[in-house]
Amino acid sequence: MSNKPTLLSLLGALLLLGSLPALAEVDGQQLYRQHCAKCHAEDGHANTLRGWLYFAQNLSKAKWQDNNSDSDILEAIQEGPGAMPGYAEKLSETEQLVVVRAVRDLRKP
């Protein structure tokens, strides 16, 4: 019997716990407003001129939220699908994660 899975789980939990204070210090809503709202709008509806021009995704739709995992959203933030620029080099990992949380907060029923 190997303890490797247990050790990996413990390491992952410690890393997550270590990042929680850092996540709390970064304002995801502010980062969203700064980097995303110009196309996706502050409410996520993508009803801005840039949103219409670039076919930005409505991030508030429950169906879209249900069909996209946090990993999918993170990948989109990092790589930038379509006309959207990638933010892998512009935002830290912590900042990227809090933007994912801010996107999740846009969900409308």
Instruction: Work out the mean pLDDT of the chain and round it to a whole number.
Output: 88
Domain ranges of the chain: 25-104
**Which range among 3-17, 27-41, 44-58 shows the weakest confidence by mean pLDDT?**
3-17
> What pLDDT is recorded for position 4?
65
- 51 torsion bin: left (phi>0), alpha (psi -120 to 50), beta (else): alpha
Q: How far, in Å, CA of 62 to CA of 95, rounded?
A: 24
Is CATH 3.40.50.410 the classification given to domain 25-104? Answer: no
What is the number of other CB atoms lying within 10 angstroms of the CB of residue 39? 19
For the whole model, what pTM was predicted?
A: 0.76
- Which candidate, 14, 4, 16, 10, places its Cα nearest to that of 94? 16
Q: pLDDT-based confidence at 14, cuts 50/70/90?
A: low
Q: Inform me whether the pLDDT recorded for 23 exceeds 70.
A: no
